[in-house]
Amino acid sequence: MPPTHIAVLGGGLTGLSSAIHLARRFPTSKISLIERQDVLGGWVRSERVKLPQIGASVLLEGGPRSLRPNGKSVLELINLLKLQDEVITVPRTAAPAKARFLYIPKSYGSSGPSGLQRIPSSIFSMISSSLASVMLPAILFEPFKKANRPSNISDESVDSLFTRRFGETFARTFGSALVHGIYATDSRTLSVRAAFPAIWEAEERGWGSVVRGFLMPKKKKEMAEQETYEMGNVPDMMRGTSVYSFRDGMETLTKAMERKLQATPNVSITKNAHISGLKLLDNQEMEISHSQSTPIVASHVVSALPLHVLHNLMNGPQNIPLVPHLTKNPTSTVHVINLVFPSPPKDVHPEGFGYLIPRPPDGYPKTSNSFSGILGTVFDSCSLHEQDFPPTEDYYNAASHTKLTIMTGGPYPRPPLPLHLSSSECDVTPPFIWNLLDQLKVQLGRELPDPIYWRIWNNEACIPTLLPGHLDRMEEMKASLGLSSNGGPSDAISRGWRARLAVVGAGVGGVSVGDCVEAGRRVGREWV
C-alpha cells in the first residue's frame, strides 16, 4: 500500500528532488514540502545585477556554478522540466576546459615551482610542465610501489592514501587543493572512501596501485535492475561538453523544480516554517511541529535537513528511537566573493577556468591573517562567459568587464563577516575586500583596477566533512531506521521507525548537485 502522506523536510536540492520524484512515484499520496527559508533551493543562489558603469548586467552565483555532464539524474531533470534552451555548455576543446591552474606560494619551498602554474592536461604536457618535478616521479613510480594499505583499515583520509601511494609533497600539493575545491576542508580529515570512492576502488582493482587500477578495465557489476533515466535529447546536447550551467544561473534549475511542484496537484509547499519537533506516534505515524500551522501528521517522512538539525529535532522530551551518528561530521563554512572589474579578462587573469591553492606546508594558521583564507578562484568570465556576453564576442580580449569569484573559509580561521553584503549596500569597502584584492594581485602576478562591484555570500556550515568511517556509520544509521544496506526494509522493520523515515542529503551521500538530485530520486523506493 502506498504512503498516505509524505512530509519532506527541507527544500534544498535534495528536498526538491525528493518531492518531485515521490510525486511521480506516488501520484495518489499527499506530499508536503516544508522549508525554513522564504526561498527554495538551499545553497543554490543566482543573482543578476545591473551595472550602469559598464552598461551591462552580470550574473552572480553564491553557491554551485557549473555541472559535469556525467550526472544522469540532473540531465533527466533538464529533460523533464524542459530546460534545454536554458543550458549553456563549455566544450572540452575550450580554454576554460583545458587550462586549470594551481597557485603555489613561494613560502611552500624554494626548490619547487611557485606562482600560478598550469596543471598538465595530458602526459605530453606534463613532461614540459613546471609541475613535472612534483607530478612525474609520483605518478610514474606509483605502479611499482609495493601494496601498502594496512590490512586492518576499511577507510582512511584522502591525505593518508595520497601520501602512501604518491608521497607527501604530491598529497599536499594536489590532494589538498582538490579537496579545497570540492569539500572546502582539510584533506587530512576527509574520508577517501566517502568522498572519492573511485580512488579507493582503483587501488583495490590495481592490486595496491591506484594508477594501475585506473588503467585496468572495470569489472561489470551485477545489477538486479538497470537504472533508466528519461533524458530525451539532453545527452546529445552534452556530447563533447566539459561543464555546463544555465544562462541565468543555477537557480534556473531550482526555480523550475519549484514551478513543477506548484503545478502538481498532490504537492503542497510551506515556506518560512521553522520545524521544532519530530515525534513518532503510537500508531507509527510521525508528527512534525512547525511554526506556520498545526502539526503535520504523516505516514512517511523524508529528512533532507542537515544531520545536526535533524538530531536537534529528535532531542526533545519525547521518547523516540535513537538515530546514531547525526552529529559525527563537522561542517565547513564557505565565503563566496564575487568581484567585477572594469577591464577585459586579458588584463586581469590568464585564459582558463581558475585556480586552487594547496594547504600551507606548516598547516592552517590558528588566527586570521592577511595571507590566509583563499581556497581557490574561478574565472567566471571565461568559464561561463555566455551568462554575460554573446557567444560570438571575443570576450577574453574585448569584453567590457571581468567577473571572477573567490572562495575562502573552510579550514582557515573565520573572519568576522556579515551574512550577505554587496558594494551597493555599503558606503565603505570593508578591509576584508581590500585584503582579498591584495592577495589576488600577488596570486595573479599583476596590478588590478579597483572593482566596480563586489558581493559577499556567507554560506554558513554549507558542506559536511565526511570523516573516515563515514560509510560504515551511515549503514548503522540506516539499520536504526529499519533499512538495509540496499535501501530496502531490514530485520528491524518490526520496531522503531519501521523504514518510514528516510534520511538523505549531502551529510549522508556526496555533496555535489548530482549527488543530491540522485539521492532525492532514489528515496522512498521501499515504500510500496
pLDDT exceeds cutoff 90 at 220: no
The pair phi, psi for residue 365, each rounded to 5°, is: -65, 155
Distance of CA 199 to the CA centre of its chain: 18
Look at residue 392 and tell me whether its pLDDT is greater than 50. yes
pLDDT given for residue 104 in this prediction: 93
Task: Read off the pLDDT of residues 221-279 as tens digits, 9 standing for 90 and up.
Answer: 544 357 899 999 999 999 999 999 999 999 999 999 999 999 999 999 999 999 998 98
User: What's the pLDDT at 121?
Assistant: 83
- 95: nearest Cα among 134, 121, 133: 121
Answer yes or no: is pLDDT of 439 > 60: yes
CA distances 454 to 98, 378, 403, Å, are 28, 14, 10
State in Å, rounded, how far the first CA of the chain is from the last one. Answer: 6
Give the separation between CA 200 and CA 193, rounded to whole angstroms: 6
pLDDT of residue 222: 40
pTM of the model: 0.93
Is 208 a residue whose pLDDT tops 90? yes
* CATH level 3 topology of 5-43+244-327+466-526: FAD/NAD(P)-binding domain (3.50.50)
* Domain extents in the chain: 5-43+244-327+466-526
Q: What is the C-alpha separation between 471 and 452, in angstroms, rounded?
A: 46
Distance, CA of 106 to CA of 102 (rounded, Å)? 13
